[in-house]
Structure 1
Amino acid sequence: MSDKIPANVAVIDVRSATEYANGHIKGAINIEAGKLSATEFAAKLPKGKVVIMNCSAGGRSMEAFLKLKNAKVDVSKIFYFDANIKCDKSGTCEIKVNEPLG
């Protein structure tokens, strides 16, 4: 399995710049969603890609998703990790899913 993000996918780390600097998924883009309106956040998201948002425990990425959805942004290609994600500065991550899927 490749550890590279596919070209048609963008991983968006919605945490603060400080948290991002302390470790993140390799190739993830940092956009602190909590400081932006839904319109501002949507404008910063890469166009034409599947977007997967993450944070450290799933709460902020879910909030970012709901912020977009509630503002009537098309979220058909936007997803979020519901997981505890801990990465070191080298980009090595441990991911524990909060609620296993079916």
Structure 2
Amino acid sequence: MCVTLSTSVLADTEVIDVTPQQVEELLDSKEVPIVIDARTPEEYAEGHIKGAIVIDVTAKDFKEKLGKMDKSKVYIVHCLSGARGRKAVKVFEKLGFKKVYHMNGGMMAWEDSGNPVDKGE
């Protein structure tokens, strides 16, 4: 798997940009990362990665909700196209999370790659 690695200067957070295909591989791995969908609950309801947790990066309580997550776990974060996912990554870094994968292209790239989209809860 070929990834672009960029480690934050603000914290000890390892941030890795990945493609939808690489996310598929990560989700099939032994230690499955936690998927954070940074879109709105309405967008999430229209279709999401199975098992993803929706935490809206534009909500006032985003940092608070994210802060309750286990910082030692590995996360994959995404949004619709990538911009809000990048914004979310900055919060992961500020809060001192260990490792975060950012899915380039977001759900649009996920769907364009032919990956499954879950429409259930």
TM-score, structure 2 normalization:
0.58
Aligned sequence identity (%): 31
CA shift digits 1:53-86 (9 cap, x unpaired): 01110000101111333xx321431231121423
Letter in 2 for 1:77: K
CA RMSD in angstroms comes to 2.8
After TM superposition, the structure 1 = structure 2 runs for residues 80-91 of structure 1, keeping only pairs within 5 Å, are 80-86=102-108
- Other-structure match for 1:12: 36
- Other-structure match for 1:77: 99
| Residues 15, 31 of structure 1: 8 Å contact kept | yes
| Residues 15, 60 of structure 1: 8 Å contact kept | yes
In structure 2, the gaps of 5 or more residues are 1-20, 114-121
- 1:93 CA displacement: 2.9
- Other-structure match for 2:82: 58
- 1:37 CA displacement: 4.9
Larger relative helix fraction: 2
TM-score, structure 1 normalization:
0.66
Letter in 1 for 2:111: C
Letter in 2 for 1:93: E
> What is the distance in 2 between the residues matched to 1:47 and 1:76?
6
- Kindly tell me: are residues 43 and 64 of structure 1, through their superposed partners in 2, closer, same or farther at Cα, counting changes over 3 Å? same
After TM superposition, the structure 1 = structure 2 runs for residues 16-27 of structure 1, keeping only pairs within 5 Å, are 16-27=40-51
Aligned length: 88
- Kindly tell me: are residues 16 and 44 of structure 1, through their superposed partners in 2, closer, same or farther at Cα, counting changes over 3 Å? farther
| Residues 86, 93 of structure 1: 8 Å contact kept | yes
